[in-house]
Amino acid sequence: MNILDEVFRVIKERKKNPPPVSYVASLMSKGEDKILEKIGEEAVEVILASKKDSRSEIVSETADLLFHLLVLLGYKDIELEEVYEELRRRRK
């Protein structure tokens, strides 16, 4: 299992059984607009890190953006495998 799959598994579990203290569960309880807002914020932070040419910040902010995209997929009940399959299809 790669790390994206592992993180996504945890996100889906937190959606199904939200612990009292969980960032994912809290974000999901606030709804789609809040999740989309976070994705927008993280995308801007990736752009700013890139403009600063800060490798470590680009890596960190990209991880944040990927994480929030995974939260959105979990919220929408879209499996990560569907994204993998779309990428495979485009590679052909």
Spatial distance between the Cα atoms of 45 and 60, rounded to a whole number of angstroms:
10
Predicted confidence at residue 1, as pLDDT, reads: 64
Q: In the chain, what are the domains?
A: 3-91 (1.10.287.1080)
pLDDT digits (tens, 9 = 90+) for 41-66: 999 999 999 999 999 999 999 999 99
92 band by pLDDT with thresholds 50, 70 and 90:
confident
Spatial distance between the Cα atoms of 30 and 72, rounded to a whole number of angstroms:
12
Task: For residue 57, give the amino acid letter.
Answer: E
pLDDT digits (tens, 9 = 90+) for 16-47: 999 999 999 999 999 999 999 999 999 999 99
Average pLDDT, the chain: 97
Predicted confidence at residue 78, as pLDDT, reads: 98
